């Protein structure tokens, strides 16, 4: 479960140095795997597979940096975490299950993140300010309790993530 207050503090920092489309607090989540567009049938297949998985117990992650995907005027800012072995194993379990459903394997490397903003114009000055911020950032903990499958819904021009399935991590 994201610590929305601490994550939104990172968004406040970003707003002070860059313009973009910032993630509303209610849409904050840690992305394990982005699926993109899929049919209702495919979503049902994914839900069935996720429900059948043997998952690890809950674990704690450390949010320790802000980073960016993309360049120029199309960057996405994100809050990054460490990758403890239990988290890497969880990703592997989910990834293999999604491959079995017909999704492509992740070829960019595992980069768990919380999207803070999209559409940023990423300049060297912003990158320098972010690097300085990361050096002074006090890492904070996030507790992972399970996996949620979200559907992106745009209504009246506003993007919302609606949970379609929550699968709790297994307790001993």
pLDDT at 136: 94
- Bridge-based pairing of strands 59-69 and 158-168 is unpaired
Residue 3 has pLDDT above 80, yes or no: no
| pLDDT tens-digit map of 142-163 | 999 999 888 888 888 888 888 8
| pLDDT tens-digit map of 44-67 | 898 899 889 889 999 999 999 999
Reported as a pLDDT band with limits 50, 70 and 90, residue 5 is confident
pLDDT at 62: 94
Shortest CA distance to 64 belongs to which of 45, 46, 47, 84? 84
Mean pLDDT of 126-132: 95
In order of 33, 49, 87, the CA distances from 99 in angstroms are 12, 11, 18
Mean pLDDT of 101-123: 89
């Amino acid at each position: 479960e994201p610590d929305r207050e601490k994550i939104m503090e990172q968004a406040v920092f970003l707003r002070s140095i860059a313009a973009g489309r910032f993630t509303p607090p209610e849409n904050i989540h840690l992305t394990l795997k982005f699926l993109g567009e899929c049919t209702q049938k495919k979503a049902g297949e994914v839900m069935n597979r996720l429900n059948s998985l043997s998952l690890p117990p809950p674990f704690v992650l450390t949010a320790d940096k802000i980073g960016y995907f993309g360049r120029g005027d199309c960057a996405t800012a994100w809050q990054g975490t460490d990758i403890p072995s239990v988290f890497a194993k969880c990703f592997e379990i989910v990834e293999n299950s999604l491959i079995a459903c017909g999704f492509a394997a992740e070829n960019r490397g595992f980069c768990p993140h919380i999207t803070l903003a999209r559409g940023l114009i990423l300049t060297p000055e912003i990158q320098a300010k972010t690097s300085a911020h990361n050096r002074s950032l006090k890492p904070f903990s996030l507790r992972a309790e399970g996996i949620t499958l979200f559907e992106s819904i745009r209504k009246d021009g506003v993007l919302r993530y609606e949970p379609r399935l929550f699968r709790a991590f297994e307790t001993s």
